[in-house]
Amino acid sequence: MIVDFFFVLFAVMAIGGAAGMVLARNPVASVMYLVMAFFALSGVFVLLDAHFIAAVNLIVYAGAILVLFLFVIMLLNLGRTEKTDLRGPLYRMLAIVSGGAFFGLLLVMLRGGHVTSMAGGMGQETMDAMLRARGAVGVVADPMFRSYLVPFEITALLLLVAVVGAIVLARQKAP
């Protein structure tokens, strides 16, 4: 029961944050809305027993990446409330229709059982047992450093390349 309550709470927060981000005029407000949505999503992760993911999501996404966004907005001095950059009515309509249709179809997919059959769950007990046995970090670390060690290392390389690329791109060219 309590799980349901929190789920509804987080869900409402996440949806509200997402909608707020899309609709807010001020980019800084958008970032804050997104932070709220991410917080809520981390909550959902916790409810789904992905504690470690929830933590990483908070730290990396909400904490690091979104702060980076915030920095850029501040850096470019865009943090003022100006007239909205939302598109005109035609685009709004098209966007909402296509987005709605997309959502609708995803729902149809759920209802048709294409996905839910897989989503039934291994059972709360198994999950709990695993968590107890290995710990929240352990359950993730095990496959990551056994099966997916090479992709993991490649991710590191990707980040390195991204850092170098970002520096090269953003560097002020010498006059």
Partner 1 sequence: MDIETYSLILSALLFAIGTVGVMLRRNVIIMFMCIELMLNAVNLTLVVFSRSLGIEAQVFVFFVIAVAAAEAAVGLAIIISIFRHYELVDVDRFNLLKW
Partner 2 sequence: MVNFLESFLRVAQHADGGYQPILPGLILLFPLVGFVINGLGAFLWRDSKRVPSLVGPLAIIGSFAVVLANFLAMHAAMPHDPAIVSLWTWMAVGDLSIGVDLQFDQLSVLMLLVVTGVSSVIHVYSIGYMREDPGYSRYFSYLNLFVFFMSVLVMGANFAIVFVGWEGVGLCSYLLIGFWYENREFASAGKKAFIVNRIGDFGFLVAMLLVFTHFGTLNFVEVFAAAPETLVFGGGVVTLITLLLFLGATGKSAQIPLYVWLPDAMAGPTPVSALIHAATMVTAGVYLVARAGVLFAMAPVSQATVAAIGAGTALFAATIAMQQYDIKKVLAYSTVSQLGYMFLAVGVGAFTAGMFHLITHAFFKALLFLGSGAVIHAMHHALHQVHRHDDPNDMRNYGGLKNVLPITWGTMWIGTVAIAGIFPFAGFFSKDEIIWSAGSYGYTVLWVVSILTALLTAGYMTRLMVLTFHGENRSGADVRPHLREVPAVMWVPLAILAVLSVVGGWIQIPESLPALPAVDALHHWLEPVMEPARQVMTEHGLHQAHESPLGGGEAVWAIMSTGLALIVVMLTFRALVHRRYRPASESETPTGFAGILYNKWYVDELYDRLIILPLLALWRGCWRIVDVGLIDGTLNAMASGTRMVGWVGSLFQTGRVAGYMFWFVTGVVLILALLLL
Q: In the window 19-58, what residues touch partner 1 (CB under 8 A)? A: 19, 21-22, 27, 30-31, 34, 37-38, 41, 44-45, 47-50, 52-53, 56-57
Surface-to-core class of residue 82, CB atoms within 10 Å of its CB (0-12 exposed, 13-18 middle, 19+ buried): exposed
Q: Which of 72, 84, 102, 143 forms a contact with partner 2 (CB under 8 A)?
A: 102
Cβ atoms < 10 Å from Cβ of 9: 13
**Beta carbons within 8 Å of 53's beta carbon, 6+ residues apart:** 45, 140
DSSP 62: I
Query: Which listed option, partner 1, partner 2, none, makes contact with residue 140 (CB within 5 to 8 Å by class)?
Result: partner 1
* Cα three-residue angle 2-136-122, rounded to 5 degrees: 65
Binding track over 95-134 against partner 1, x by CB under 8 A: xx-xxx-xx--xx--x----xx-xxxxx----x--x----
Nearer to partner 1, 119 or 174 (CB): 119
Q: How far apart are the first and last CA of the chain?
A: 64
Binding track over 147-166 against partner 1, x by CB under 8 A: xx--xx--x--xx-xxx-xx
Q: Which of 91, 145, 148, 152 forms a contact with partner 2 (CB under 8 A)?
A: 91
Query: Which listed option, partner 2, partner 1, none, makes contact with residue 130 (CB within 5 to 8 Å by class)?
Result: partner 1
- Binding flag, residue 113, partner 2 (CB under 8 A): no
DSSP 49: T
Distance CA 76, CA 71 (A): 8
Query: Which listed option, partner 1, partner 2, none, makes contact with residue 151 (CB within 5 to 8 Å by class)?
Result: partner 1
